[in-house]
Amino acid sequence: MRLKRGPTIVYLPGTHGNDAFYGSFRTRFPQRAGRCLTYPVNSGWDLNGYTEWLKKELGGLRSYVLLAESFGSLLAIAHGAEDPAGLRGIVFLGGFVRSPYPMLPSWIAHLVPSPQNQFMSGIGASLLLEKGNRNHYELDEVSTALTGLSRRDLRDRLRVVLKADLRDQLSRIRAPFIALQGSDDRIVPLRALDLFRAAGGVAKVIKGPHFLGNGPTEHIDEAVEKMARSRR
How confident is the model at residue 34, as a pLDDT?
A: 86
Strands 8-12, 64-69: pairing is parallel
Eight-state DSSP code of residue 100: S
Task: State pTM to two decimals.
Answer: 0.86
Q: Which residue has the higher pLDDT, 6 or 168?
A: 168
What digits encode the pLDDT tens for the residues 153-197? 888 988 999 999 999 999 999 999 999 999 988 889 999 999 999
Digit-coded pLDDT (tens) for 22-56:
776 777 776 778 889 999 988 889 999 999 999 99
3-state SS track over 27-92: CCCCCCCEEECCCCCCCCCCHHHHHHHHHHHHCCCCCEEEEEECCHHHHHHHHHCCCCCCEEEEEE
CA 149 distance to own-chain centroid: 16
What domains appear along the chain, each with residue ranges and CATH number?
8-99+165-228 (3.40.50.1820)
Would you give the distance in Å from CA 184 to the centre of its chain? Answer: 17
